Amino acid sequence: MVIPRLVATDLDGTLLRSDGTLSGRTLAALDRVRAAGTLVAVVTGRPPRRMAEPADRLRGDGLAICANGAIEYDLRTRRVLAEHAIPPDVAREIVRRLRGALPELTFAAEYRDRFAYEPGHELGGHDSRSPCGSTAPLSELVALPCVKLLARHPRLSAGELVAHAVIAVGDLATPVNTNRRRLVEICARGVDKATSLARLCERRGILPSQVMAFGDMPNDLPMLAWAGRSYAVANAHPAVLEAVRHHAPGNDDDGVAAVLETLYPRLAATAEGPILSPGSARTRSPTTTG
């Protein structure tokens, strides 16, 4: 197998261990990848405000796609390079439709550099462990362009919420399942990890067949389908394990590093050419899943 020109990896549940740390083994594997001439891109659901710690440790190419594709971000300079936000009028219509379908939903909004949520919205994950954001009336949350809307329900699972959201607002936005909690995240229509990764690669003359990708959750599926060779880590969501042909060890077993170590045994390998054998490279659309 010829090595890729770019390795794209999700963070939480994939590159990071369950405690949020990056192991020395993983950092060494990424250094080996870069030494062979391959670029590394972080492609995550995290917004820029949650990228400081991993950016300090990754010490790499600076390529990052954040907020499920809504933001292109430079890890070295900590600058937003491009933003694909939900316009206020669209956000208001999304909220109206979702509240009509599921009245118990509460909402939060992620902006370029801050986070806000309506009173009564339950924080989860990282945002529940440290002071974060501010409360605001729902009308204020949708008064400015936002990179993500987040809707939480007291009982429905993330999968159930995505199914409802696709029916209610699929013509306006891109609802995704990024977690195993009672939350759906919503980006602008046509925005996902694959579309932003495709833009990044096009600027560098990199073909889908020259990209290797790693992920664990349904929001990774567009990227995993688009890339020439993709891996689901062992702890991935069942839908991802079913859809993705190649599997890696789990995130707590440094699964990304384990795959990269087999691909980069020598630094003399070339990064030219496709991952797949001639004639077998995939040319799927960035929005294809599966």
CATH of the domain at 78: 3.40.50.1000
Q: How confident is the model at residue 161 (pLDDT cuts 50, 70, 90)?
A: very high
Q: How confident is the model over 90-140, as pLDDT tens digits?
A: 999 999 999 999 999 999 999 998 999 999 888 865 554 444 678 999 999
Q: Please check whether residues 109 and 246 belong to one and the same domain.
A: no
Q: How confident is the model over 19-37, as pLDDT tens digits?
A: 999 999 999 999 999 999 9
d(CA 108, CA 133): 10
Q: Which domain holds residue 255?
A: 6-83+192-263
Q: Please check whether residues 24 and 50 belong to one and the same domain.
A: yes
Q: Please check whether residues 96 and 161 belong to one and the same domain.
A: yes
Mean pLDDT, the chain, whole residue set: 88
What's the predicted TM-score (pTM) here? Answer: 0.88
Instruction: Provide the pLDDT for residue 266.
Output: 52
> Residue 290 pLDDT > 50, yes or no?
no
SS3 11: helix
CATH of the domain at 178: 3.30.1240.10
d(CA 107, CA 84): 20
Provide the domain count of the chain: 2
Residue 274 counted as domain residue:
no
Q: Please check whether residues 100 and 173 belong to one and the same domain.
A: yes
Q: Which residue has the higher pLDDT, 285 or 244?
A: 244
Element (H, E) at 260: helix 255-263
Q: Please check whether residues 74 and 94 belong to one and the same domain.
A: no
Which of 132, 165, 188 terminates a domain? The answer is: 188
Element (H, E) at 129: helix 126-129
Residue 276 counted as domain residue:
no
Share of the chain above pLDDT 70, in %: 88
Q: Please check whether residues 123 and 142 belong to one and the same domain.
A: yes
Residue 268 counted as domain residue:
no
Residue 116 counted as domain residue:
yes
